[in-house]
Amino acid sequence: MNARQIEIFHAVMRTRSVTGAAAFLGISQPAVSKALRLAERQAGLRLFQTVKGRLLPTPEAQRLLPDAERIVSEIAAFARLTGEVRSGGAGLVRVAASSSLSITLMPKAVARFHRRHPMVRLASDMLPARETAQAVLSGQADLGLCLSPAPIPGLAVRTLPGPRMILVAPEGHPLLRKRRVQPADVLPYPLVSYGSDTYFGQVLDQAFAAVGLAREVTLHITMSMSALSHVRAGAGVAVVDGFIRHIGLPGLGLGWRAFDPSIMLPVTLMTPETGGVPQLAHAFIQVLSAELDEMSA
């Protein structure tokens, strides 16, 4: 039986008459009778029998009723969801993001988005930058976010303004007495930062080289969160992305200062190059942009 035949079978079972089912569904009685005959022929089962002028379901029909009710209910739910998605009221937005953005930007953006679209579900996956791009490319995510450029064929890439590099140190550290911290200020202290084989590391190497200094990294990290853990444990000071200050550094016994020269970290937004972006994903991108404006201020 197809979906329409199941719907008619269910209506007849509930009203116990062809007339009632036709009225309930808004179709003619002959259409109901024809659909039932076709359903019985396709299923190879007798579903109803007439006894003393009454239409009675067979035992086989009674066995089919629970599943018919479930299917009819799911079809109705799907129809409601289709209408809600069309109007922007419900659905699912799937986002893949690199670690720093998953921990800092995404929670704020999701909370803001949920206030505007309470019926919409979101899925957030934390992945390395390259895997984030692959998730979008394969259709597993509607959009991807990372801080490293990811030029991959098949993706539309857009740059959003992000925060700047900052220095993080334990509370009471001498560097926190400064308003801004420069490369020369960092040299006396063990440095926790990105390796020169990473995009961030290369950008910082250039900043140090521009003032005639070489960046010496004591502890190489790939995630800003791990840098905070090491700084808290006394491993040194860290120069990391400014997103990390939004997790509440004072509560961790840490402070931060702006790093000079100012290094802005643009956020790379990736979407499929073809096929378009779902309406709700567009709405989430707008929320992301607004959240980034506030976090970068």
Distances (CA, A) of 241 to 66, 92, 143, 234, 244: 56, 30, 21, 19, 6
- CB contact at 8 A, 257 and 163: no
Q: Which structure tokens are listed for 178?
A: 């400064």
Q: Which structure tokens are listed for 102?
A: 């998953």
Q: Are strands 237-241 and 165-170 parallel, antiparallel or unpaired?
A: antiparallel
Residues comprising the chain, all counted: 297
pLDDT number for residue 210: 95
- Rounded to the nearest 5°, which phi and psi values hold at 163? -80, -175
pTM of the model as a whole: 0.64
pLDDT number for residue 200: 87
- CB contact at 8 A, 281 and 270: no
Would you give the DSSP letter of residue 266?
A: P
- CB contact at 8 A, 166 and 238: no
Rounded to 5°, the CA angle 192-194-196 comes to 125
Helices assigned H by DSSP within the chain = 3-15, 18-25, 29-43, 59-86, 99-103, 105-116, 129-137, 183-186, 199-209, 224-232, 279-296
Rounded to a whole number of angstroms, the CA Rg of the chain reads 30
Q: The domain at 91-158+267-296 falls in which architecture? A: 3-Layer(aba) Sandwich (3.40)
Class of 165-259 per CATH? alpha beta
First to last CA, the chain: 60
Per CATH, 3-86 and 91-158+267-296 having the same topology is answered no
The domains of the chain are located at: 3-86, 91-158+267-296, 165-259
Greatest alpha-carbon pair distance for the chain in Å reads 102
Note down pLDDT in tens along the chain; length 297 residues: 888 999 999 999 988 889 888 888 889 999 999 999 998 998 898 999 888 878 899 999 999 999 998 898 888 777 766 765 665 555 789 999 988 899 889 999 999 999 998 888 899 999 888 889 989 988 889 999 998 776 678 899 998 988 899 999 999 999 999 999 999 999 999 999 999 998 889 999 999 999 999 999 999 998 888 899 999 999 999 999 998 888 888 888 999 999 999 998 889 999 988 877 888 899 999 999 999 988 876
- What sign does the dihedral 214-219-220-225 (CA atoms) show? negative
Topology of domain 3-86 in CATH is: Arc Repressor Mutant, subunit A (1.10.10)
pLDDT number for residue 87: 56
- CB contact at 8 A, 231 and 237: yes
Distance between CA 113 and CA 108 in Å, rounded? 9
pLDDT number for residue 79: 77
Residues 6+ apart with CB under 8 A from 24: 11, 14, 15
